[in-house]
Structure 1
Amino acid sequence: MRDTSEHAPGADSRADRGYAAQALRRKAPESTAFFGTGRAVMLFVGLMSGTSMDAVDAVVADIEGTRVRVVAHHSEPMPADLRAELLPLSQGATALSLEALGRMHIRVGRTFANAALASMAKASVPSSRIVAIGSHGQTVWHSPQGPNPFSLQIGDPDVIA
């Protein structure tokens, strides 16, 4: 769809005036530290859990351009009872109500959050220094074939954040 809004020549588009654009223009956000390096250190957390569902792997990384430096990492075991519920679901052996799926979405999010917090603790970095968290979520169904290919992941990002 074409943007038909009118603005003066040289004026920012609506997207440029948005929250994300404003956040990118801020100087030295709280999540920026210098750690005696003379440059701004931008710290990120990455989270991943594989199809074995045995653990959530977390990393705190310092990213500058294309350079990535691992600051700390942690592997958080998946709680046995949660894994016992997730595995049959991912294999199509279990029908689940939306209520039950929602509860599982929260529980998986908590497990991912625990992994993130543990990796930040190992790095001695408070959460206020983290720029962003990247989380793939836990894949519970992957259907790449057919007329409408899709993949479904759970792990509530609100809980993780």
Structure 2
Amino acid sequence: MSEFYIGVMSGTSMDGIDLVLCEIDAYSCKLLHSHEYPFPKELKDEILTAIAGVVTLQKVGTLDTKLGHLFARAINRFILEKRINAEKITAIGLHGQTLWHEPNAMFPFSMQLGCPNVVYSKTNMSVVADFRSMDIANGGQGAPFAPAFHAFAFGSLSKNTAVLNIGGMANITLLGDTLKGWDTGPGNVLMDMWIRKCKDENYDKDGSFAKSGRANEELLEKLLADNYFKKIPPKSTGREYFNESWLGLHLPIFHTIKEEDMQATLLELTARTIAHDALSAKSELLIVCGGGAKNGFLMQRLYELCGINVVSSDTYGINADALEAMAFAWLAYKRIHREKVNLQSVTGSHKNSLLGGIYG
């Protein structure tokens, strides 16, 4: 018997809050409604300041509650605008806003803000949240989780298919007898950061600014030499690593680079790191989802570098913008039904995990 779940996703790019309503059973996850609500600039700036390390414990607590209220308002608005019967919703799958992801420390953790108790209180619907902690407790990276849903959604396709999610970070899933997946590195995060600095725009629409420039091969070579790209999976990363400070380590040497050339270089960094991993897996088809799927120039470069068919997940009837929020609606379904998720070959966890806690 199918059930109804709401999925809520706010990624590392913080370009919006994605909400979906899904009808889910053991065999399918059907998208019924989706919408993206804007992420307040003031709150985004507060989070970026916190990630940069300029933060107190009081501020972290305040941000957690603020985000809880923000997510709750978005959910209630979504229900009202889409005329959803809230009484039929089994639960909300709430990812939260990642503040810090530290899976390789002596005492590893992944911190997502957006208090689920506030969300439950303001929506009166059960909330499943804190998905990553159990995987980390079981020895895993706590990310990426998208591969589990990719296997569920695209499992009937060829074993030589790769599914790519390009959000703030990019992660790739290799479908096959053994599910594999990892973060390839930065997705949109550095490109968004740079165009915000140069043009005060949230993102490079269709990659047009990058396309107007030319990648600087000398700088690109230095960026690609980073140890993260040499690491063998399982591996995951986030904005706490690939950020303005990371880029700033190299910029003093290249202060004469034109703004559009830097944009082109950062797009090329994303494209080449993805292409390297897709080609090493001998993929024959690359299905792309996430915000990066709308970047026409990035999609063009992926096609040119990979030499294989590169398509949006829209081609297979799954909204590229909604797929990650759908994944957390599906993970909420798994948690409500006490079904453990097998991510051992993806995150490196020692055993299958019951992901998330239930609030309300």
Give unpaired runs (5+ residues) of structure 2: 121-360
Task: Give the superposition deviation at 1:42.
Answer: 1.4
Q: Which residue of 1 aligns with 2:24?
A: 63
Q: Which residue of 2 aligns with 1:14?
A: none
SS at match of 1:43: strand
Do the aligned residues in 2 keep the contact of 1:55 with 1:78 (CA within 8 Å)?
yes
Select the structure that is richer in strand: 1
Q: Which residue of 1 aligns with 2:71?
A: 112
Task: Give the superposition deviation at 1:62.
Answer: 0.7
Q: 1:41 to 1:144 in 2, by over 3 A?
A: closer
Q: Which residue of 1 aligns with 2:92?
A: 133
Distance (Å, rounded) in 1 between the aligned partners of 2:2 and 2:78: 17
Distance (Å, rounded) in 2 between the aligned partners of 1:127 and 1:79: 25
* RMSD of Structure 2 on Structure 1 (CA): 1.6
Q: 1:120 to 1:142 in 2, by over 3 A?
A: same
SS at match of 2:56: coil
Q: Report the AA paired with residue 141 of structure 1.
A: W
Verify: 1:96 aligned to 2:56, yes or no.
yes
Q: Report the AA paired with residue 91 of structure 1.
A: A
Q: Which residue of 2 aligns with 1:33?
A: none
Map 1:9-158 → 2, pairs under 5 A: 41-92=2-53, 94-97=54-57, 99-158=58-117
Q: Which residue of 2 aligns with 1:36?
A: none
State TM-score, norm by structure 2. Answer: 0.32
Task: Give the superposition deviation at 1:41.
Answer: 4.7
Distance (Å, rounded) in 2 between the aligned partners of 1:51 and 1:84: 13
Select the structure that is richer in helix: 2
Which 4+ runs in 1 deviate beyond 6 A? none
Distance (Å, rounded) in 2 between the aligned partners of 1:118 and 1:70: 18
| Greater displacement, 115-124 / 77-86 | 115-124
1:99-119 deviation line (CA, Å, top 9, x unaligned): 322221111112212222233
Distance (Å, rounded) in 1 between the aligned partners of 2:32 and 2:78: 9
SS at match of 2:20: strand
Distance (Å, rounded) in 2 between the aligned partners of 1:90 and 1:110: 20
1:71-124 deviation line (CA, Å, top 9, x unaligned): 1111111111111100121233x1223x32222111111221222223323431
Q: Report the AA paired with residue 138 of structure 1.
A: Q
State TM-score, norm by structure 1. Answer: 0.68
Do the aligned residues in 1 keep the contact of 2:49 with 2:55 (CA within 8 Å)?
no
Do the aligned residues in 1 keep the contact of 2:8 with 2:18 (CA within 8 Å)?
yes
Distance (Å, rounded) in 2 between the aligned partners of 1:100 and 1:91: 13
Distance (Å, rounded) in 2 between the aligned partners of 1:78 and 1:45: 18
Give unpaired runs (5+ residues) of structure 1: 1-39
Do the aligned residues in 2 keep the contact of 1:57 with 1:115 (CA within 8 Å)?
no
Do the aligned residues in 1 keep the contact of 2:20 with 2:32 (CA within 8 Å)?
yes
